[in-house]
């Protein structure tokens, strides 16, 4: 099976799973998962007669909308990031994404966390999608879920697809393999982009993907934001979904807790913490020395015309 066939199979199986289980994704979840399939949301309702070019989106008021999709300009994204607030459904969508590989014969997918326990939410959701009676109930040859002893593995009987959790603390064990996808849980905990670079070669042969879903707790995750919005053609296969507010997930959002933490309402959080935790913002980070983000505080012809030789000429 070549990589195009594999990608088509993953896409089809994910749609089948969504139909069978009655799944409607939140917009940010659909945004990055569609990017991995080479699509993007049009932002408009789908044509009533559309049979494939649509996706069901669950809104914050829990209603479901049938939204249109179109081809993504950069094609299928292979490095994907979902930078969202706490409890906005990142792990769930990660598991939904990974579940698509269960249909691929011999698929190999690693779920990487700083420690095994970090992988627990994604792994539990994945087991629920694929193995449980509430999910697809697929037969399996192996299923271990023992985070404390580092044994977290699902192997699907019919296809031999294997999902395994790995600990970044034993990163040397990740070398020299061949993978269809890496999923990095709570990526901000990892040391930086080096976590990806050190295993990226394992994705090369199968044209695999790397997924980072995280809150923007550490500055290094802005690397996805900078490269994942299509400005740089050499990173066309990077995608970033960011600025996802906790309110987007109505099942976990609590207005009372939101108000309790809100800095302008005398809450418990600083503005920085609140922006990251509730608003999914990349802006300012706890632990930073300077309140600065690249691109800020520039003096240009517009802001300081007296500093420029030819004020009439616009800066690029």
Partner 1 sequence: MTRLSTLSDLRLPHDCQLYLAADTGTFLSALIVAIDTENHAFALAEFPNYRYISDQCELNDISTPEWATDVVATMTRLGGVPMAWADKNSQFKEEMRRYGLRLLGNKTRLETRVSIAREYFANERVHLAPWLQVLPYELENAKWPDEASSTGKYARIKRSDHTLDCLEHILSRRPRITQRPIAQKKGFLEQYLEDNVTPSTTTADIHLGNG
224 contacts 79 by C-beta, under 8 angstroms: yes
45 contacts 66 by C-beta, under 8 angstroms: yes
Please tell me the distance from the alpha carbon of residue 212 to that of residue 221, in angstroms, as a whole number.
9
Least CB distance to partner 1 at residue 106 (A) = 31
Of residues 134, 176, 306, 312, which one binds partner 1 by CB under 8 A?
A: 306
DSSP-assigned letter for residue 111? E
What length is written for the chain?
316
Q: Does residue number 312 form part of the binding site for partner 1 (CB under 8 A)?
A: no
Give residues 273-292 in contact with partner 1 (rule: CB under 8 A). 287-292
Whichever of 158 and 303 has its CB closer to partner 1, that residue is 303
Least CB distance to partner 1 at residue 88 (A) = 25
Least CB distance to partner 1 at residue 122 (A) = 25
252 contacts 90 by C-beta, under 8 angstroms: no
243 contacts: CB under 8 Å, gap ≥ 6:
83, 279, 280, 281, 282
Q: Does residue number 294 form part of the binding site for partner 1 (CB under 8 A)?
A: yes
From the list 68, 124, 133, the residue with the least C-alpha distance to 99 is 124
Give residues 179-238 in contact with partner 1 (rule: CB under 8 A). 192-194, 197, 219-220, 222-223
Of residues 44, 149, 265, 310, which one binds partner 1 by CB under 8 A?
A: 310
Q: Does residue number 293 form part of the binding site for partner 1 (CB under 8 A)?
A: yes
270 contacts: CB under 8 Å, gap ≥ 6:
263, 286
Q: Does residue number 133 form part of the binding site for partner 1 (CB under 8 A)?
A: no
Under the rule (CB under 8 A), what is the footprint of partner 1? 192-194, 197, 219-220, 222-223, 287-295, 297-301, 303-304, 306-310, 313-316
């Amino acid at each position: 099976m070549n990589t195009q066939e594999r990608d088509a199979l993953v896409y089809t199986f994910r749609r089948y799973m969504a139909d069978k289980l009655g799944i409607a994704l939140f917009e940010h979840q659909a945004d990055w998962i569609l990017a991995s399939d080479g699509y993007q949301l049009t932002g408009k309702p789908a044509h009533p007669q559309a049979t494939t070019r649509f996706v069901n989106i669950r809104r914050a008021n829990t209603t479901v909308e049938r939204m249109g999709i179109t081809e993504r300009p950069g094609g299928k994204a292979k490095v994907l990031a979902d930078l969202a607030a706490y409890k906005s459904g990142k792990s769930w969508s990660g598991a939904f994404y990974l579940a698509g590989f269960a249909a691929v014969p011999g698929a190999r997918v690693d779920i990487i966390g700083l420690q095994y326990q970090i992988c627990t939410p994604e792994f539990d959701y994945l087991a629920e999608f694929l193995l449980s009676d509430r999910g697809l109930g697929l037969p399996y040859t192996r299923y271990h879920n023992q985070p404390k002893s580092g044994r977290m593995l699902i192997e699907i009987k019919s296809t031999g697809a294997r999902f395994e959790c790995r600990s970044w603390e034993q990163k040397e064990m990740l070398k020299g393999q061949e993978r269809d996808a890496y999923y990095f849980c709570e990526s901000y905990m990892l040391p930086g982009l080096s976590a990806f670079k050190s295993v990226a070669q394992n994705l090369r042969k199968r044209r695999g993907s790397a997924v980072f879903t995280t809150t923007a707790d550490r500055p290094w995750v802005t690397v996805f934001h900078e490269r994942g919005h299509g400005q740089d053609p050499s990173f066309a296969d990077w995608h970033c979904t960011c600025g996802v507010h906790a309110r987007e997930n109505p099942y976990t959002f609590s207005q009372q807790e939101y108000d309790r933490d809100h800095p302008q309402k005398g809450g418990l959080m600083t503005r920085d913490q609140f922006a990251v935790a509730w608003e999914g913002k990349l802006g300012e980070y706890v632990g930073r020395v300077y309140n600065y983000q690249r691109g800020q505080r520039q003096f240009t012809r517009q802001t300081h015309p007296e500093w420029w030789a030819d004020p009439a000429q616009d800066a690029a």
